[in-house]
Amino acid sequence: MENILLREKVADLQSYFACGGYRALKKALALKPAEVIEEVKKSGLRGRGGAGFPAGLKWSFIPKDAPGPRYLVCNADEGEPGTFKDRELMLKNPHALIEGMAIAAYAIGAETGYIYIRGEFTAECALLEREIASARAKGFIGRNILGSGINFELHLHRGAGAYICGEETALLESLEGFKGQPRLKPPFPAVKGLFASPTVINNVETLAAVPAILEKGGEWYAAIGTGKSTGTKLFSVSGPVNKPGVYELPLGVTFRDLLEKNCGGMREGTRLKAVIPGGSSTPVLTAEEAWAVKLDYESLATAGSMLGSGGVIVIEEGRCMVKLLQVLARFYHHESCGQCTPCREGCGWIEKLLNRLEAGRGTKKDIDTLVSVAEGMLGRTICPLADAMAMPVISFVKKFRSEFEAHAAGNYCPPDAPVKR
């Protein structure tokens, strides 16, 4: 099928407009805001940042009679290890995001929008600044867009590279100029978000899908994919495959098809050992599980993992799972904001245990402690960062326990050396 998001040669306004860009915005402005929301609901579009919450339903949560301003925020702070699809989308098709935000803002009654982008994305920032200015000059954003009497001003805000600011309420705190720490909920952002006003926060990929939905209809989009997993998904594929990169495919595609038909299979001399299917925070699948799974929300949940951000990390035979988990633990320990005790202490404890096992100083009891600490973190913090550490720990130990036990028995991996077999 033809790509909806990763289209070729539409990185500037002229080429985007020549391919039918901003027709969806014109169509949306001829509808009532509630009709726009209903069309997105019909599409079944779910948040592509990881949570998978229905986008149209989220928009409908904005109180209809709330006084004062409303805000639309795009979460472009892509920091999940193994995930790099949003930055690719912003580079290749920035106006899909800009147009999608203009449509979403009209639907919820927001006159101001922010793209909160990871500060390290220098090329993406420069391109978006240029293309936002181009869209403003042509009347697609700004005051009285397309002569409709509707106003929507869009701003780009660079973050400082904190993974925790990918969590929507920590993002809002940072956007307001405070330390990026998650807020207690309720109240939810739809009621009290940015500057204590009703706010919708969506991911880049989610908002970029909106123009196609408005142009071709929610039912058209819902016919792509499978079941409750409608539309296409961007998959970031990394690891020892012949063609790593970002692929746009209908939800429900098999992992086998993604790997063999799109990525060209495993590199010569390697065999599949395991797959992390949705970014580093999702539970790992064995090769046997991965070959049989479909890549959609429901199928991956049934398999014991999650679609998450669509960051597919391919792991080959010979890789030490203890070492890989140690690398993940170092990341999550470093990125924990420290606000919640189970996360602050749990991430550090897990990293220390894995450092000990990896160095050959661990014991079999340490393996059980790893799982116990992780289980004690699940669901006990303000935001999901603790769960993002705990879920990989539990799944790695459960599915590759023999490697952890080998480390505990002294058969460990010396630094920069392959695992003993």
Kindly report, residue by residue over 354-382, the tens digit of the pLDDT. Answer: 999 999 899 999 999 999 999 999 999 99
According to DSSP, the β-strands at 272-276 and 311-316 are antiparallel
Mean pLDDT, the chain, integer: 94
Q: How far apart are CA 335 and CA 358, in angstroms?
A: 21
- Strand ranges inside 191-329, DSSP E: 199-203, 225-226, 229-230, 232-238, 245-250, 272-276, 285-286, 311-316
Identify the helix (H) or strand (E) that includes residue 221.
Answer: helix 218-222
pLDDT of 218 over the 80 cut? yes
Tokens 């390697």 correspond to what residue? Answer: 270
Cα angle 397, 419, 241 (rounded to 5 degrees) comes to 85
At 232-284, the pLDDT tens digits run 999 999 999 999 999 999 999 999 999 999 999 999 999 999 999 999 999 99
Query: Residue 414 pLDDT > 70, yes or no?
Result: no
- The pLDDT, as a whole number, for residue 67 is 87
Q: Alpha helix (H) ranges present in 258-411?
A: 287-292, 297-302, 321-335, 341-358, 364-377, 385-399, 401-408
Phi, psi values for residue 244, rounded to 5°? -65, 160
| Model pTM score | 0.94
Torsion 323-328-332-334 (CA) sign: positive
User: What is the number of other CB atoms lying within 10 angstroms of the CB of residue 120?
Assistant: 15
Residue pair 309/297 in contact (Cβ under 8 Å)? The answer is no
3-state SS class at 167: coil
Parallel/antiparallel/unpaired status of strands 245-250 and 199-203:
unpaired
pLDDT tens track for 175-193: 999 999 999 999 999 999 9
The 10 Å Cβ neighbour count of residue 387 is 17
The single-letter DSSP state of residue 253 is -
pLDDT in tens, 246-258: 999 999 999 999 9
For the cut 90, the answer to whether the pLDDT of residue 216 exceeds it is yes
Which candidate, 332, 303, 308, 313, places its Cα nearest to that of 393?
332
CA distance linking residue 201 with residue 207, whole number of Å: 10
